[in-house]
Amino acid sequence: MKYFTPELIALGQSDDDEVLDEQERLWDEAGDRYVAHLDTVRDSFPPGLKHIDTSYYLHDAAILGIGRRGEAFVLILQLDTPPASILTFTYDLLSEPIIHGEALPPEASLGGGHHLWQYNEIERAEGESGGWRENLLLSNGWEVVLHFRDVAVEEFDALLPVHRYAKAQQATPA
């Protein structure tokens, strides 16, 4: 990760208000730099990546599964935002995925039943095969690095797992 670095994320775990203020300032600067970077490449996103960029807020989405078949890498996730849709992202890989199992220091990794989508960074991949590179940071401390042509997206209405928004709707009298 070039913008939302493990060190910057770990600073956010401090109990010191001055450190947290500095982390917030640095975080805002990193966010501004990353948005400026995205603005230079968005127009050339392939269709699936463009659809994700314009349609979904992925932070804190629950990762329900990760799989692989041939040149396809699949992420199954449930959005944290209403209506808590289930999404499948099928990446058309150009090279082997890389998973760094300890990208975050232990104090910055979150435990719990689900692994959550924390931050991702996308860039045009340089070199012979071109394509795109995505670095995805999960709440368990993993960094997943994918080099791909495009990503196919499917969206489903969630029935299971029942999301907290669905529970709130069920409790409301008709």
Q: Domain map of the chain by residue range?
A: 47-158
3 vs 26, 111, 120, 150, CA distance in Å? Answer: 10, 23, 10, 22
Rounded average pLDDT over 8-35: 92
Residue that wins the pLDDT comparison between 6 and 48? 48
Share of residues in the chain with pLDDT > 70 (%): 89
Q: CB of 115 within 8 A of CB of 109?
A: no
Amino acid 112: pLDDT = 62
Q: What CA–CA distance (Å, rounded) separates 87 from 56?
A: 10
**Residue 23: helix, strand or coil by DSSP?**
helix
Q: What CA–CA distance (Å, rounded) separates 69 from 166?
A: 32
Rounded average pLDDT over 163-172: 56
Query: What φ, ψ does residue 115 adopt, rounded to 5°?
Result: -90, 140
Tens digits of residue pLDDT in 81-109: 988 999 999 999 999 999 998 887 666 66
Whole-structure pTM value: 0.86
Q: What CA–CA distance (Å, rounded) separates 156 from 115?
A: 20
Per-residue pLDDT band for 7 (boundaries 50, 70, 90) equals: confident
Residue 171 has pLDDT above 60, yes or no: no
Residue that wins the pLDDT comparison between 113 and 8? 8
| CATH for 47-158, options being 3.20.190, 3.40.720, 1.10.287, 2.40.50 | 3.20.190
